[in-house]
Structure formats: structure tokens, C-alpha cells
Amino acid sequence: MVTTTIPAADGSTAPEDLIKIELKEPWIAALLAWMLPGLGHIYQGRTGKGLLFFICILGTFFYGLYLGGGKVVYAAVPWEQQYRWQYLCQLGVGLPSTPMLVQRSKALKDSNFTGFMAPPRRGPMEWKDDSGKVSKQPNELAMWTLKYHPYFELGTVYTVVAGLLNVLVICDAAAGPLVITQNQGDRAQSKKKEP
Amino acid sequence: MIFPLLLAVSEPTGAPLLAVMNMWYALPLIVSVSLVCAATRHEEIGPILQHAMRFGLWIVVFMAVVMGVLTLIGMLA
């Protein structure tokens, strides 16, 4: 059982004013925080913050997924399919993004595999836009980018940001809030003033 | 001076900057990022909300300044 203390809201570091936080088992809290944003905090009894993280991060992630037509979250590595570095960030959200790994393994066996969180298929394909004009796109990713523009990019940004935010949440679950005390702030300011 | 900038035409669409709907998609992102970053710095709800508002405002002002500079460059070009 691990506990940590942080200064009070007004910055007071007097022992009687310190806020004590029960981190319980930090590695379990960190793992739960990765699996589902906010779950690590709920495990520690920090329910308010857990709910805040749950709503903010999963809200951002699923809204991004919705904006991108369900196509913005998929797994691809350079030597197998069209490279998607964003999936490394999207994995930060935890279990909600793991279906893309399952879909990736299915797509590796069947190049025509398509579905929710499945990677785009290779090879040229035709696409008919809203005006009825048919164009030939080099691959399915190009077709998605065109079809959902600009929401494909927006959705990607939303889901990537959600994943990266959860990294901060995992750190908070494992070690408590990152508080900059007044002393650290004064030291930073005095360093700036020195020639 | 700010009002003409706000109504400035953005090339090549010709639409006023604030009417460009894509820009409004930044708002939920700003709210989410501000709340999460603030919550990783504090434990109590009061300081979290205060920090989130300051942080969100900072982001909006920064974006507005960059938008203004880019608009000015576009107008001068």
C-alpha cells in the first residue's frame, strides 16, 4: 500500500494541511488506468477524478471515431500494410482500441477483409462521390480520406489526443498529481533572473 | 483593429475565419485537454476547474494570436 502527499490547494506545505492520497498498488492502478481511463482512480477511491477522466478521454475517443466514420482507428505497421503510426497513440486509450489489433490479424490472413477497425485494403478501387462522379483511388485509405474529408483527419486527431491524454492519467494513477510547489516555482523564476 | 481581422477573408475559400466550421471542432478538444491536464495537477475539484479554465483560455488566446498573425500575413501577401 503506497501513499503520497501533495500540498493543499492554497499551496500550503504545513503537515496538517497536506492532502494524503492512497495510491494502493500503483502498478495495478496504472494497469487499470490504461485498460479503461479512470478505472485506476476509481480503484484508488479517487472516484471524482476517475469519472472525469472516463468521460473526457472516452468521450474524445468515441467522438473522434464517430467523426471519422469508424475508420480512423486501425492498426498497421510499415512492413505489412499502409503505415499508421497514429495507432501507437490510439492504443493509449486501452481496451476500447484493442479490437483494431484483432482486426489487423484477420486482415493479414485475408487481404480483402473489411470491418470495424479493420485496416484499409490495398490496391486501386473505384469510388462514387455524392455527385455521382466515379474516380479511381490508389487504395482504400485514399478513398476514406476523400470520402470523409475533413472528418477523417479530425477524427484521427481526436483519437490520438485521447490516447496521449491517457498516458498522463496513467502517470497520475501510479504516482499521484504532478504538483509544482511554490518553492519550485520560485527556483525557476530565480534561475530566469540570473545572468 | 481586431474586428476587421475577425472578419478577414481567408484564402482560398473566401469565408470569414470564424465562419469556418472546422475551427469549432477544436472547442471540445480544448475543453477535454484542459480538464485532463488540470486534473493531473490537482486533487480537489475547485483547483482542477480553476486550472482548467486558465489553461483553456491560454490555448484559445494562443490560437487566436497565431490565427491573427497568419491572417495578417495572408492580407499582406
Q: Would you say residue B13 lies in a domain?
A: no
Contact B45 A19 (CB under 8 A): no
**Which chain B residues have a beta carbon less than 8 Å from that of A180?**
41
Contact A178 B45 (CB under 8 A): no
Which residues of chain B form beta strands (DSSP E)?
9-10, 15-16
pTM attached to this predicted model: 0.83
Can you tell me the distance from the alpha carbon of A64 to that of A163, in angstroms, rounded to the nearest whole number? Answer: 11
Give chain A's residues under pLDDT 50: 194
**Are the CB atoms for A76 and A91 separated by under 8 Å?**
no
- The tens digit of pLDDT for each residue in A150-180 reads 999 999 999 999 999 999 999 999 998 988 7
Q: Would you say residue B6 lies in a domain?
A: no
ipTM tops 0.90: no
Contact B32 A171 (CB under 8 A): no
Angle between helices B26-39 and A47-67 (to 10 degrees): 160
**Are the CB atoms for B33 and B51 separated by under 8 Å?**
no
| Residue in A42, A67, A72, A165 to test binding to B, most B beta-carbons within 10 Å | A165
Radius of gyration of chain A (CA): 22
Q: Is B20's Cβ below 8 Å from some Cβ in A?
A: no
Q: Would you say residue B5 lies in a domain?
A: no
Domain count, chain B: 1
Which pLDDT band holds residue B62 (cuts at 50, 70, 90)? very high
Higher pLDDT, B8 or A88: A88
Q: Would you say residue B12 lies in a domain?
A: no
- Mean pLDDT, range B53-71, rounded to an integer: 93
Q: Long-range contacts: A108-115, Cβ < 8 Å, 24+?
A: A108/A80
**Residue numbers of the domain that contains B34:** 28-72
Q: Would you say residue B66 lies in a domain?
A: yes
Reading phi first (left if > 0) and then psi (alpha if -120 to 50, else beta), residue A21 is in beta
**Are the CB atoms for A105 and A117 separated by under 8 Å?**
no
Can you tell me the distance from the alpha carbon of A27 to that of A170, in angstroms, rounded to the nearest whole number? Answer: 10
* Interface size between A and B, measured as CB pairs under 8 A: 62
